Amino acid sequence: MNDLLSVEHVTRIFALGGLLGRGQFAAVDDVSFSLKSAHPEIFAIIGESGSGKTTLARMVLNTLAPSKGLIRFLGDDISRFRGRRDRLQFMQKVQPIFQNPYEAFNPLKRVDRYLFASAYYFMERRSRDAREAAADEALRKVGLSLAEVKGRFPHELSGGQLQRASIARALISSPALIVADEPVSMVDASLRMSIVNLFKTLRDELKVSIIYITHDLATAYYISDRVLIMQKGKVVETGPARQVLSDPQRPYTILLRESILSPDDVDKAQPGVAARKDKRFANE
Amino acid sequence: MDTALTVRSLRAYYLTRYFGITREVRAVDDITLSVMRKEIYGIAGESSCGKSTFIKTIAAAVRPPLRVLGGSIKYSFLDRDLYDLNEKALADMRWKHLSCILQGSMNVLNPVRRVRESFKDFAFPHLGLARREFFDVVNQHLGRLHLSPSVLSAFPHELSGGMRQRVAIALATVCRPEFIIADEPTTALDVVVQKDVLALILETQREIGSSMVFVTHDLTVHANISNRLGIMYAGRLVEEGPTGDILHDPIHPYTRHLVASLPRIGDLTPKKALSGAPPSLADPPSGCRFHPRCPLAMDICRQANPELTPLASGRRVACYAVGPLVKPAADSAAAPQATQADKSAAFLQ
C-alpha cells in the first residue's frame, strides 16, 4: 500500500428539520482523492463557506463518520479504529490544526499544558523532563522555544505565536499527515506568510503531508502542490495547483478566481470592485 | 477639498488600576489625520495595533477603561468637538450623521429579535416618518442591496453570513449618514461573498455621497476600495498617502514589508515574513516603536520618536532611515517641535 490516505466516494448526509418534514442535506457528496506516502505534499481543499470543506476534514480526522464511502489511512479503514489504543495510534499519525488558535486553546489553561499532554499520551513520555524535551523540540521546529511558551496563557501570546504553538503541538507526535482547517484566516496579513512558509518547511524537511483547507486562493497558489475545489459538497475541479488556478476550466473555479482581489487592481482608473450583476443575489 | 473629519494629536489609553498599580495601554498615541468629503480613508495594520480603539474613539464609543486623554475630533456636520457633546446630542447624531458597519454582523443584530426590530430601534427615531412610510423607505433601501423585504421578518441566524453583513450595511446606510465607519466588514466572509459585499459598500457610499473610514488588515481589500491609506503600527500612524502610491512605492520599512508579503496568483517568489512579534502597547519600545523589528534601525530610532512628516507628493511618513525627516540632535528637542508646527500648518491648509 503506497497511499497515505485515500478517500473513496465519501458522502456525509445531515438530517435537517424536526420530526415532521425531515429533509436531507449532503454536506459532502461523493468526494474521492488520495495522498501518496512516498511524496509528502500540500493538498489544498478550496471552497466557499458551506461547501463542505470542514465536514470533509472532520471525516478525515475520524471525528465524524461518513454516511457512505470509505476513508483509508495507510490501507486501514479508519472507521474501524474504535478502541482507545487504535484511536491514539491514529491520532499520533494524523493531527489537526484549527482556524482560530484563541478558540482552540482553553483561555484558562496554560499553553504548555497542551504540549505536555500530547507528549504524554502520544509519545509515552512519562517523566517531566522527557515531556519538556519533546515540547521544546517541537517548538523549535516552528521557531519558538519552550522558554517563550512555558507558563503562558493563550492571551499572553500573539495570534501568530499561538498558531505556531498549535502547530508545534501537532508536531509532537511526528505525524505523517496534518489537517489544517483555515489555519491562516484568523491571522493577520503580516503574520500569515510566516505560517504559510512554515508549512512549506514542514513538507520539505519533516516530510509531513498537509491537507490545507482554505478559501484564500492566493496562499493556496503560493504553497500547495495539488488543489481540490469544492462547491456545495461536490468536487468541481482537481489537479496540480498552478495549472488549476492559472487556467481554471470550470465556471465555479473561474468565479472563485475572479473573486480574488488583487493588490494590482489599484491601477484601474476607477479604483474599487466592479459590481457584478449576478444571479447569486436573486436566489436568496 | 472639504474635510469631513479632522483628528488632531488624538491620544486614547486604556487605564486600569488594580491594587494601587496603574497600567496604561497606549492604544492610540498621537494620531493626526483628516478625511475628505466623499473619500474612503483606509486604515491598515495588524491586530493589536490600535485600529479598533481608534475607531471607538472617533465614533464616541469610549467606555472605561478606555479614556481619551488629549486631542480633538471634529466632524464637518458638527459645530463642536465630538467630546463636547452631551449624551442626547450624541444619540441624535449616531446613525443619522455617523454610522458603523462592524465586523461580526451577528453581534450587531439582536439574535432573539427579528431584523425589523433592529431597524425600528436604530433608524425609526431618526427618519421622522410615519411607520408605513418608514418601512417603504427601508424596503426600497433593502432592494438596493439586493435583499428582499422578507429579511425583515427573519431572525439573524436564519440569514447567511453575506446576507447578514448586507443587512448590517443597510442598517448603517438607511439614514444616509454623512460619515460611515467600517471596521473589518468583510473579514469574516469568504472570497466570493467578500467581493460582492465590497461592491455594495462602494456603490452605496457613492450613491449617498458619504465619507468613510474603512479598517481592515488586508491590503488587497484596501487596494480595491480605499482612496487614501494610513498604515498603523503599535498605536501610531507610520505612513499615509494615496492607496496606489503606497502599494507601488511603500516608503516606511513596515509598509514595505506588508506590501512585499502579499501573495499574488502567478507569483511564486518566496515571501519573507517579518521576524519578531508586535510590541505590547502596555510597554512599547522606546523611540520608534518599529525599531526592534526594523532592518534599517539606527541609534536615533531607539531614542527618539520620528514624527509623521509630509512629503511633496501628498504623502506622510514617520521614519528616520528612509524619510526626509531632519535627524534631530539627541540633546535638542527644538528640531522635532519645529517639524510638528510646520506639519500642522501644512495640514490645516
Q: What is the mean pLDDT of chain B?
A: 83
Question: Above 70 in pLDDT, residue A225?
Answer: yes
What confidence category does residue A282 fall into, taking pLDDT thresholds of 50, 70 and 90? very low
pLDDT of res. A266: 66
B chain contacts of residue A284, beta-carbon cutoff 8 Å: 146-148, 160, 163
Q: Is A50 an 8 Å CB contact of chain B?
A: yes
Percent of chain B surpassing pLDDT 90:
14
CB contact under 8 A, B220 and A281: no
Cell digits for A39? 511524496
What confidence category does residue B41 fall into, taking pLDDT thresholds of 50, 70 and 90? very high
pLDDT of res. B139: 92
Q: What are phi and psi of B144, to 5 degrees?
A: -65, -30
pLDDT of res. B346: 42
Find, among A169, A188, A173, A207, the residue nearest to A42 by Cα: A207
* Contact yes or no for B37/B3 (Cβ under 8 A): yes
Cell digits for B1? 477639498
* Contact yes or no for A186/A97 (Cβ under 8 A): no
Hey, how many other C-beta atoms are within 10 angstroms of the C-beta on B275?
10
Residues 6+ apart with CB under 8 A from A247: none
pLDDT of res. B333: 41
* CATH assignment at residue A252: 3.40.50.300
Q: What is the biggest distance separating any 2 CA atoms in chain B, rounded to whole angstroms?
A: 69
More confident residue, A268 or A206: A206
A5: in domain: no
Residues 6+ apart with CB under 8 A from B250: B239, B256, B258, B259
Hey, how many other C-beta atoms are within 10 angstroms of the C-beta on A130?
14
Mutate to test the interface with B, among A167, A213, A258, A284 (most CBs of B within 10 A): A284
CB contact under 8 A, A275 and B247: no
CB contact under 8 A, B265 and A216: no
CB contact under 8 A, A49 and B247: no
Q: Sign of the CA dihedral A210, A213, A219, A222?
A: positive
Question: Above 90 in pLDDT, residue B145?
Answer: no
What is the C-alpha to C-alpha distance for residues B56 and B181, in angstroms, rounded to an integer? 10
B124: distance to nearest CA of chain A, Å? 26
Phi-psi region of A135 (alpha: psi -120 to 50; beta: other; left: phi over 0): alpha
B94: distance to nearest CA of chain A, Å? 27
pLDDT of res. A18: 63
Q: Is A191 an 8 Å CB contact of chain B?
A: yes
Residue-wise pLDDT for B152-167, tens only, equals: 988 888 887 788 888 8
Q: What is the biggest distance separating any 2 CA atoms in chain A, rounded to whole angstroms?
A: 65
A chain contacts of residue B191, beta-carbon cutoff 8 Å: 48, 215-217, 256, 259-261
CB contact under 8 A, A197 and B203: no
Which residue is associated with the grid cell 490545507? Answer: A212
A265: in domain: no
Phi-psi region of B130 (alpha: psi -120 to 50; beta: other; left: phi over 0): beta
Find, among B118, B127, B105, the residue nearest to B175 by Cα: B127
Find, among B184, B165, B193, the residue nearest to A186 by Cα: B184
A228: distance to nearest CA of chain B, Å? 16
What is the C-alpha to C-alpha distance for residues A98 and A112, in angstroms, rounded to an integer? 17
pLDDT of res. B344: 40
SS3 category, B264 = coil
B chain contacts of residue A197, beta-carbon cutoff 8 Å: 270-271, 273
pLDDT of res. A108: 92
Hey, how many other C-beta atoms are within 10 angstroms of the C-beta on B82?
22
Q: Which structural domain range is residue A205 located in?
A: 36-62+80-257
pLDDT of res. A10: 92
What confidence category does residue A210 fall into, taking pLDDT thresholds of 50, 70 and 90? very high
What is the model's pTM? 0.80
Strand order in the sheet with A42-46: A94-97, A177-181, A209-214, A42-46, A226-231, A234-240
Question: Above 80 in pLDDT, residue B345?
Answer: no
> Which of 7-26 (A) contact B at CB < 8 A?
none
Q: What share of chain B is helix, strand, coil (3-state, %, to 5)?
A: 40, 25, 40
A264: in domain: no
Residue-wise pLDDT for B240-285, tens only, equals: 999 988 988 888 988 988 888 888 877 777 777 777 777 878 788 8
Residue B172 burial (C-beta neighbours within 10 Å; 0-12, 13-18, 19+):
buried
What confidence category does residue B1 fall into, taking pLDDT thresholds of 50, 70 and 90? low
* Contact yes or no for B301/B320 (Cβ under 8 A): yes
Cell digits for B272? 519573507
CB contact under 8 A, A273 and B274: no
A51: in domain: yes
Residue-wise pLDDT for B292-344, tens only, equals: 888 888 888 888 888 888 887 788 998 888 766 655 444 434 444 444 444 44
Task: Say how many domains are in chain A.
Answer: 1
pLDDT of res. B105: 66
Phi-psi region of B95 (alpha: psi -120 to 50; beta: other; left: phi over 0): left
A97: in domain: yes
Residue-wise pLDDT for A26-43, tens only, equals: 889 999 999 988 889 999
What is the C-alpha to C-alpha distance for residues A233 and A62, in angstroms, rounded to an integer? 18
pLDDT of res. A190: 67
A108: in domain: yes
Nearest to A273 among B218, B224, B244 (CB): B224
CA distances from B41 to B94, B101, B183 (A): 20, 14, 12
* Contact yes or no for A168/A115 (Cβ under 8 A): yes
What confidence category does residue A1 fall into, taking pLDDT thresholds of 50, 70 and 90? low
CA distances from B343 to B69, B170, B245, B309, B325 (A): 21, 39, 20, 7, 12
Percent of chain A surpassing pLDDT 70:
89
Residue-wise pLDDT for A108-150, tens only, equals: 999 999 999 988 888 887 888 989 999 999 898 888 888 888 8
Residue-wise pLDDT for B160-189, tens only, equals: 778 888 888 888 888 889 999 998 888 777
Find, among A204, A225, A233, A262, the residue nearest to A51 by Cα: A233
Find, among A26, A93, A27, the residue nearest to A62 by Cα: A93
What is the C-alpha to C-alpha distance for residues B122 and B137, in angstroms, rounded to an integer? 14
Question: Above 50 in pLDDT, residue B29?
Answer: yes
Mutate to test the interface with B, among A16, A184, A193, A214 (most CBs of B within 10 A): A193
Find, among A165, A163, A177, A166, the residue nearest to A61 by Cα: A177
Cell digits for B133? 412610510
Residue-wise pLDDT for A252-280, tens only, equals: 888 888 877 777 766 554 444 544 444 44
* Contact yes or no for B29/B15 (Cβ under 8 A): no
- Does an H or E element contain B187, and which? none
What is the C-alpha to C-alpha distance for residues A87 and A126, in angstroms, rounded to an integer? 19
CB contact under 8 A, B192 and A158: no
B chain contacts of residue A188, beta-carbon cutoff 8 Å: 46-47, 217
pLDDT of res. A215: 82
Find, among B56, B122, B224, the residue nearest to A262 by Cα: B224
Which residue is associated with the grid cell 432573539? Answer: B112
Omega cis (within 30) before B279: no
Pairing of strands B236-242, B316-317: antiparallel
pLDDT of res. B330: 42
Cell digits for B212? 468613510
Residues 6+ apart with CB under 8 A from B89: none
A72: in domain: no
Q: What is the mean pLDDT of chain A?
A: 84
Of all residues in chain A, the one with the smallest CA distance to B200 is A275
pLDDT of res. A212: 93
